[in-house]
């Protein structure tokens, strides 16, 4: 089976692969955010969604945000994504 993230990681030969296994985030057109490897959601509102990742936390700011999918390790956020910060 083709795995988009694995293909990108394989092409990044100059980066230590140990750093590429913590989490994956894909922002599609500022309207859809797909995350693999989250460790729990900490904030949910229509203007901010935050979640834990290995060694940090991700905060997504925007408008009309909502979780349209949440599993043990993946989540999908829809809405107008204005900013994403990793702490």
pLDDT in tens, 29-69: 999 999 999 999 999 999 999 999 998 999 999 999 999 99
What does the pLDDT average to over 1-18? Answer: 65
For residue 20, is pLDDT > 70? Answer: no
What does the pLDDT average to over 75-86? Answer: 97
What does the pLDDT average to over 5-30? Answer: 75
**With pLDDT > 90 as the criterion, what percentage of the chain qualifies?**
71
Report the number of secondary-structure helices (H) and strands (E) in the chain: 1, 6
- Residues 45/65, Cβ–Cβ less than 8 Å: yes
For residue 25, is pLDDT > 90? Answer: yes
Spans of all domains in the chain? 23-86
What pTM does this model have? 0.81
Residue 76 Cα distances to 28, 62, 84, angstroms: 11, 14, 14
Please, what is the average pLDDT of the chain? 88
Assign domain 23-86 to its CATH architecture: Sandwich (2.60)
């Amino acid at each position: 089976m083709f795995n988009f993230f694995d293909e990108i990681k394989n092409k990044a030969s100059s980066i230590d692969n140990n750093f590429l296994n913590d989490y994956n985030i894909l922002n599609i057109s500022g309207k859809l955010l797909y995350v693999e490897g989250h460790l729990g959601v900490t904030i949910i509102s229509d203007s901010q969604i935050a979640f834990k990742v290995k060694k940090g936390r991700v905060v997504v700011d925007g408008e009309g945000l909502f979780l349209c999918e949440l599993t043990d390790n993946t989540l999908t956020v829809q809405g107008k994504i204005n900013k994403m910060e990793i702490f």
